[in-house]
Amino acid sequence: MLFGYPIAATLNNWLHDCMVEAVKNVHTAVDSAKRCPAWPKVFPRAYQATLKPRTGLRDRVKAYDRALRGLTKADRDLVLAAVADQNRIADLLSGVCNCMPIDGLHQNVREPVKSLFEFAFDLLTELKVRDQHYDAIYAAATEHMCPFCGTEYFDAPGTPREALDHYLAKSRYPFAAANLRNLVPMGHKCNSNYKLANDLLYGTSGARRVAFDPYSHTTINVVLDDSDPFGGVTANTPKWAIKFAPDTPAVQTWDEVFSIRERYRQSHLDPDFARWLAGFQSWARSVNLQADTDDKLVDALRQYEEYWAASGIQDRAFLKAAVFRMLRRHCELGHQRLKDQLRDLIAPLAKTSGEVAA
């Protein structure tokens, strides 16, 4: 992803904390051969009054308790370990640890777990936790864009929210389903067309992989320097070589899950390159820029590149900056065909015959 979210947005995580505490209390009761704590005393005292009216949550806690009592101590311990491990989000994404997915637990407890924690996730909306989470992210962002692609705009709070993606899929890691640390706003295309229920921790081959942590992430830059200025989908379109800096192992996961390189190539670079060149042409002519020498041409490209680089993420400015950086660098290296093409592009408009006669 191109940039990260503020960790402060996840601090209002009280519902998830309540759910984990409730599960631990149920386990303690079962292991001690005691009854499940009376409703709503299974939760921390500070939130009992808030959660008491949530009878759907009550019924699901009871179903979880019943399922747990049919398991051996060893199976119950596996479940309890999964509660903790599935919520070690940072360590899981970095590859420091692993966790047991839901299908590794006893089959009798799988559906009660999913039902309980998916219900808790839905409560985040009713309890306004989702609103506060999104508001904090939106307010902290200088770019109101999806950081997973950089091309989809986020709407302001008060309008229909962006999709709140379960970064670690709730179908496999349900104990993290209501954990704000595992929930990230994501553009519709990224969420519904690409991410879906993909497992960020394991590739299609089953190999373990690492992924970006949305709440502990530095900026990633797109680099097109090694692109061939000619030979792409048309004779005058570059053959794109799309790289990222820094190029970490998480980049590969990001690209595999969200098809970033292919989306940039097919949806932006190929169809928009000619229009971006036309914009460069208009700008150069509007300021009466002269490019009759190589140094002047390179300087013009540098100015245009720096303008887009300073424009941030919106309107695909980061891609435009990378394109004109690539063109500048090839000109600096003496690519004569490219220099001739660009010089012709921004040459002053020829005078009409009437203007010449005058």
Tens-level pLDDT at each residue, the chain (358 residues): 999 999 999 999 999 999 999 999 999 999 999 999 999 999 999 999 999 999 999 999 999 999 999 999 999 999 999 999 999 999 999 999 999 999 999 999 999 999 999 999 999 999 999 999 999 999 998 889 999 999 999 999 988 777 789 999 999 999 999 999 999 999 999 999 999 989 999 999 999 999 999 999 888 999 999 999 998 999 889 999 999 999 999 999 999 999 999 999 999 999 999 999 999 999 999 988 888 899 999 999 999 999 999 998 989 999 999 999 999 999 999 999 999 999 999 886 543 344 433 3
Domain ranges of the chain: 7-195, 221-346
Tokens of 34: 């005691």
Residue owning tokens 């506060």: 132
Give the separation between CA 174 and CA 128, rounded to whole angstroms: 21
pTM of the model: 0.91
Contact assessment for residue 291 and residue 342, using Cβ atoms and an 8 Å cutoff: yes
Give the separation between CA 60 and CA 43, rounded to whole angstroms: 14
Give the separation between CA 125 and CA 183, rounded to whole angstroms: 13
Helix axis angle for 294-309 and 317-332, nearest 10°, is: 160
pLDDT of amino acid 142? 84
Give the separation between CA 1 and CA 220, rounded to whole angstroms: 7
Contact assessment for residue 79 and residue 68, using Cβ atoms and an 8 Å cutoff: yes
H or E segment to which residue 47 belongs? helix 45-51
Q: Is 28 left (phi over 0), alpha (psi -120 to 50) or beta?
A: alpha
Which residue, 355, 327, 321, is CA-closest to 342? Answer: 327
Kindly report the CA angle at 152 between 268 and 229, in degrees rounded to 5?
20
- For residue 296, give the 3-state DSSP assignment: helix
pLDDT of amino acid 162? 77
Give the separation between CA 286 and CA 284, rounded to whole angstroms: 6
Q: Rg of the Cα trace of the chain?
A: 27
Contact assessment for residue 125 and residue 54, using Cβ atoms and an 8 Å cutoff: no
Give the separation between CA 225 and CA 252, rounded to whole angstroms: 19
H or E segment to which residue 240 belongs? none
Which residue, 346, 301, 335, is CA-closest to 231? Answer: 335
Give the separation between CA 162 and CA 64, rounded to whole angstroms: 31
DSSP code at position 332: H
Tokens of 23: 């599960």
Give the separation between CA 203 and CA 194, rounded to whole angstroms: 14
Tokens of 27: 């386990």
Half-sphere exposure of 55 (CA within 13 A, CB side): 0
* Sign, CA torsion 210/212/215/218: positive
For 4, 87, 149, 261, the CA distances from 252, given in Å and listed in that order, are 17, 23, 14, 10
